[in-house]
Amino acid sequence: MMMRKMDDSNRRLREARAAANFKSARAAALRFGWTVSTYASHENGQTGVPPKAAKRYAKAFKTSAGWILTGEGPVNQSTKDAFLGAESDTNSLGDLRPLHDNSVIVPEIDVRAGAGYAGGFNQEEATIDEFGNSVSRDAIRASWGIPAPFLRDELHIRPGRAHMLPIRGDSMNDVLFDGDRAIINLDDTDLSQGGIFALLDDQSSLIIKQVELVRGKGPQRIKCTSRNPVYTPFELVLGDPVRIIGRVASKITRV
């Protein structure tokens, strides 16, 4: 099989990555949540750089897609393009970085949290960000810019240790309502005092419930209760696949 000859777009992509202080294609791909083999093929000339991918790379490396593709256009983007808010089309955990020194990106996971929903994490193309979080690249629905002082001082969450989960259904009424976004503290999995937690149940579905430990001998069990009395409490045994994702620390709600 003949190797495709590297063209100037591959070379400029490599130069843009190096100028952004990433020592390798792998380091950049992991940082921004790209599939390593795909990005490496765009750098090494195995495949050309698609225009859509060039736009994504340009945003990440603070250059322009035109320059990567043709050598024309500005080499550096305006710094205003560096801000990624809730409507960003970026679909990677790699953007969990400080924004303008006082905000961080919190990824919204594209799963449904609520009674009876059989959703879960899409495990294909899992990516690991600089904070050590492992989440499917396809699971990221959006990115939210949250003020770092609010996460740190009010919610006591470290940057890179928060996820956003959309609420669907009425199982957690009167605390969490359909359409709310729950902010999850991934570091807080302590069930000793109980509370509202995101967890994977025995069907590997992501749910949010009031959780408390069930005292007694044998396997460690938890009681999961909905705030809506229509739904019956149930018990689960901690262990694969049942695990605590994190405590609900706050929410974003509609008026």
pLDDT tens, position by position, 119-144: 333 333 444 444 445 555 546 777 88
Residue 242 lies in a domain: yes
Quick one: 180 and 232 in the same domain?
Answer: yes
Residue range of the domain that includes 64: 8-76
Q: What is the number of domains present in the chain?
A: 2
For residue 55, give the H/E element and its range: helix 51-61
Residue 85 lies in a domain: no
Quick one: 214 and 185 in the same domain?
Answer: yes
Quick one: 72 and 98 in the same domain?
Answer: no
Quick one: 37 and 154 in the same domain?
Answer: no
Identify the DSSP state of 204: S
Quick one: 170 and 234 in the same domain?
Answer: yes
User: Domain containing 45 — which CATH number?
Assistant: 1.10.260.40
Quick one: 166 and 194 in the same domain?
Answer: yes
CB–CB of 31/74 below 8 Å? no
Nearest to 166 by CA among 137, 206, 135, 134: 206
Residue 3 lies in a domain: no
Tell me how long the chain is.
Answer: 255
Between the CA of residue 209 and those of 20, 43, 141, 245, what are the distances in Å?
43, 45, 22, 11
Quick one: 16 and 111 in the same domain?
Answer: no
Residue 83 lies in a domain: no
HSE value, Cβ hemisphere, 13 Å, CA-based, for 154: 10
CB–CB of 89/103 below 8 Å? no
pTM over 0.95: no
Low-confidence ranges of the chain (pLDDT < 70): 1-6, 74-101, 111-139
From CA 234, how far away is CA 221, in angstroms rounded? 10
Among positive and negative, which fits the CA dihedral 196, 198, 201, 205? positive
